[in-house]
Amino acid sequence: MNDERINEFTDEVSQLQLRAGRGDRERLLLAVGTVALVAGIVLTIAGGIAASGSAVPADQTAAIATGSYIGLALLIAGAALFIRYSVGRMLRFWLVRIVHEQRTETDRLIAAIEKMGQRN
């Protein structure tokens, strides 16, 4: 009975005529988020080190502006992209799992009802 449901589901999905390739874009944006996150951390640390290594206030301000602020912006943007696409992936997996479990439970209930009908 479960094979019938799988075949029905496969046929229904093929009739939807969905575009493919969306996963590639999500993987790319997840990778961009990860790279931006790491680059932001590196730039923030480098800006802090450059600012603390200079005695001239103008050089310190320039180092903070170019390193730390840009690094913080990259860090925030990278974290946002990483969290968005990681959570999105996890929620899709969770949804598919719940649908599969509910269909399996429905199949069990139908089989039990059919058994009870055959006994009576």
Question: What is the full per-residue pLDDT of the chain (120 aa) written as tens digits?
Answer: 577 777 887 787 777 776 665 668 888 999 999 999 999 999 988 888 888 888 888 888 888 888 888 889 999 999 999 999 999 889 988 998 999 999 999 999 999 999 988 876
Determine the Cα–Cα distance for residues 31 and 50; give it in Å rounded to an integer. 28
Determine the Cα–Cα distance for residues 38 and 40; give it in Å rounded to an integer. 5
The pLDDT value recorded for residue 20 is: 60
Q: Are 44 and 72 in contact (CB under 8 A)?
A: yes
The pLDDT value recorded for residue 54 is: 80
78: which residues sit within 8 A by CB, 6+ positions away?
A: 32, 33, 34, 35, 36, 37, 38, 39, 40
Q: Minimal CA–CA distance to 41: which of 70, 81, 83, 82?
A: 70
